[in-house]
Chain A
């Protein structure tokens, strides 16, 4: 992942940090993510068509270091497509994307992960019949040292279980007693917890969450929102896609409003109300010029 971090160190990081300082509570000047254009992720003019259907129609995207960016939009506005384009799950037709100021294009979710971008998808991307530990290390298993690991590719299950337990503990999810329990035996909130813990444990730059509270009850949603703030507190940037306005307005530093396959505007939740956001999102009202 180090191949993406290069040049222009700290340039612009201070400015961004200051702007978010009010909410973040840590105004550290230099920032490991603040390189180049001062943005962790930037995309311009992303276009994706499926036959005659246009999923993305010249969409833009900006993600600052150490922020929680809320993302809202009507069903079918292209939020998930935008995220999938950024994380290599779909290939875009046109447009450019920058990670810390450097142009990139991922060809698979694996490449995005290697660059430190973790995604919690709407359908969770967990394998229900496998254990918590197996799921947390899916695709990046730890092999045993020595002969068994090298020639017989034996997994170091004890180490994976230890790390998985530690990561869940870090996020206050230790009510899960048995790390070898199948994911399908967990409650919705716990599954979400495992998915978020996996993303937080391995993401070094960005954690993207697509509708993480959609299937959850009030208490479990609260827990996930806390997890999101914990993740940000570790100097990561978070993208939170949700239909739940109160959740977005509670935790987001900025709100990206998506409409008809492109970014309509970005609003500050301290300046605009939820009713404003809904009006922009549905096209009932023109967004303010300065937010475009």
Chain B
């Protein structure tokens, strides 16, 4: 082993143009884009709308408003990192809130037990997606499009399309509204649900970046065949990813009861697509294996900031939707540009 460093192919230290350097930096830190967009949009709306927007109260309100979609986006990120997609996240969440609510309020099951049943059912629903994707080798898009409908139908059947009223929950099982409580810090009002969202992101970040399981999730999203040949049990890992996503949705269901105050089988119908929007704006590649889960948190916050800011400066709702649409396209375009470096 007497090789001089010269015979080894040297890493080419190419000269880079300024734009090329930006591309390199973004390639290494794909979360930088959403962070910059978030800070810039908070700054811009702070200038445009002034105190109305840039107050502790309004900023904490934004966090509160995005908390449920944020939790769904966390679950969605897990699946998208494996180069999959989960169209059923919101359907799982609403189904679980109906199951938990019905058990606790209608069947008088102790609230804590009802919540545990809900968490278990959520993981089970997610695992069902995972099994269909891996064991039956069906595309995630089709599987979750199917289960979205299935879970939505089950939810209507179990609830009889009837909401569970807020006062009934207060009477039978106030624990279900736990995440609706808030802590007042100065003018800010942080709900437990907002804190929960941040805790979920932190926990998933740890799992993805500091454990072997997380590295395997990235490797599978990068190149599933390569991961399999490298000795990773990809099917088992994928099922665990979908099950964990289901569990996160179930936690989101508990938080959603606190946020909405009641259990409505018709709520969050657009949650699936909104969660994907947050993930994409957060710089996580739809092709898998690239991006940080923290990006999805920033993506959800960006959407919240745009909606709040545009409303406060008096822009019609339709232009809010218009702006979000461009954000999505821009985010994907940037992702493609960054990924060119890899080719």
Contact stretch, chosen from B132-140, B223-231, B242-250: B223-231
CB distance from A224 to the nearest CB of B (A): 10
Known A-B contacts A130-B215, A134-B215, A155-B210; the reply to A139 vs B232 at CB < 8 A is yes
Residues from chain B with a CB closer than 8 A to the CB of A184 are 341-342
Is B258's beta carbon under 8 Å from chain A? no
Residues from chain B with a CB closer than 8 A to the CB of A110 are 231, 233
By the criterion CB–CB under 8 Å, are B231 and A140 in contact?
yes
Question: Closest residue to B215 on the A side, CB-wise?
Answer: A134
Contact code string A184-199 (vs B, CB < 8 Å = 1, else 0): 1111011001000000
Is A153's beta carbon under 8 Å from chain B? yes
* Contact for A125 among B1, B229, B342, CB less than 8 A: B229
By the criterion CB–CB under 8 Å, are A153 and B211 in contact?
yes
Known A-B contacts A129-B342, A172-B8, A175-B8; the reply to A119 vs B215 at CB < 8 A is no
* Contact for A175 among B10, B210, B211, CB less than 8 A: B10
By the criterion CB–CB under 8 Å, are A128 and B342 in contact?
yes
The listed residue with most A CB atoms (<10 A of its CB), out of B28, B225, B229, is B229
Is B15's beta carbon under 8 Å from chain A? no
Give 17 new A-B contacts, CB below 8 A, not counting A123-B226, A127-B289, A174-B5. Answer: A109-B230, A119-B229, A124-B226, A125-B229, A127-B219, A127-B227, A128-B342, A130-B218, A130-B222, A141-B212, A170-B1, A175-B5, A182-B28, A182-B342, A184-B342, A187-B11, A230-B1
By the criterion CB–CB under 8 Å, are A223 and B7 in contact?
yes
Known A-B contacts A128-B222, A175-B11; the reply to A121 vs B229 at CB < 8 A is yes
Cα separation A143 to B7 with both chains bound (whole Å): 35
B contact set with A: CB distance below 8 Å: 1-3, 5, 7-12, 27-28, 206, 210-213, 215-216, 218-219, 222-223, 225-233, 289-290, 341-342
Contact code string A139-176 (vs B, CB < 8 Å = 1, else 0): 11101000000001111010000000000001111111
* Contact for A127 among B5, B223, B231, B233, CB less than 8 A: B223
CB distance from B172 to the nearest CB of A (A): 36
Is A74's beta carbon under 8 Å from chain B? no
Is A220's beta carbon under 8 Å from chain B? yes
Q: Which residues from 39 to 61 on chain A have a C-beta closer than 8 Å to any C-beta of chain B? A: none
Is A113's beta carbon under 8 Å from chain B? yes
The listed residue with most B CB atoms (<10 A of its CB), out of A129, A177, A187, is A129
Question: Closest residue to B211 on the A side, CB-wise?
Answer: A153
Known A-B contacts A127-B230, A140-B231; the reply to A177 vs B11 at CB < 8 A is yes
CB distance from A282 to the nearest CB of B (A): 30
CB distance from B203 to the nearest CB of A (A): 10
By the criterion CB–CB under 8 Å, are A128 and B223 in contact?
yes
Residues from chain A with a CB closer than 8 A to the CB of B216 are 138-139
Residues from chain B with a CB closer than 8 A to the CB of A272 are none
Is A292's beta carbon under 8 Å from chain B? no
11 contacts between A and B (CB under 8 A): A109-B228, A109-B229, A125-B230, A126-B226, A127-B219, A127-B289, A129-B342, A130-B219, A173-B8, A176-B11, A189-B8
Cα separation A176 to B8 with both chains bound (whole Å): 9
By the criterion CB–CB under 8 Å, are A89 and B229 in contact?
yes
CB distance from B207 to the nearest CB of A (A): 9
By the criterion CB–CB under 8 Å, are B8 and A223 in contact?
yes
Cα separation A258 to B209 with both chains bound (whole Å): 44
- The list of the 3 closest CB pairs from A to B, nearest first, reads A172-B3, A139-B231, A141-B212
CB distance from A80 to the nearest CB of B (A): 12
Question: Closest residue to B206 on the A side, CB-wise?
Answer: A152
Cα separation A186 to B341 with both chains bound (whole Å): 11
